[in-house]
Structure 1
Amino acid sequence: MSNEEGNRLLRIARKGANSVEVRCALLILASAQKMKVPEISRLYHISGEHIQKTIHRFNSEGMASVKPNYGGGRPPTFTEKQRADI
């Protein structure tokens, strides 16, 4: 992790508005401080599997991994024409 990335993560952890981004930043920062996954898990009450996925995702994608990756929800059941008819 570069100093720039560390500073950005600190800024997100301290002043972030999105709780998902804040939690992700905290997990990555704890890992950067050489904390082991079980220690981080006990500290933040998050599963070890989730912590590992977060760290691996940060290592492969960088700062883009901090943003939440929402799936978009369930596909529409009705077409636009069916909705208009209803």
Structure 2
Amino acid sequence: MGMPCEVNSILKLKLDELDLSSLKSDSFRHATKQGYRILPIDVPIPLVDQNWLAHADVIISQLVWENQITRLTYKVHRRYPEPFSVKG
């Protein structure tokens, strides 16, 4: 028996989960993803919306797996002056 999990190097959230108006450097935020996810901890990774537009670099400080859900805490490391596409 195995444990299904997904490995991600980008944190992708829906626009309503991002709350861009309060996306400021050094602010801590929380997010929830369906399924079990493995993401890098303590290194900057891009934060993108569902349209693959990058808005910031974030540093994940905590991952919690429970009941087929990944809960994470992250800090905004750097907000980009303008969003840009990470998918062509």
Indicate the TM-score class for this superposition, using the shorter chain for normalisation: under 0.3
Give the structure with the larger strand fraction: 2
TM-score for both structures, normalised by structure 2: 0.26
TM-score for both structures, normalised by structure 1: 0.27
Question: Relative contact order (C-alpha < 8 Å, sep 6+): which is higher?
Answer: 2
Give the structure with the larger helix fraction: 1
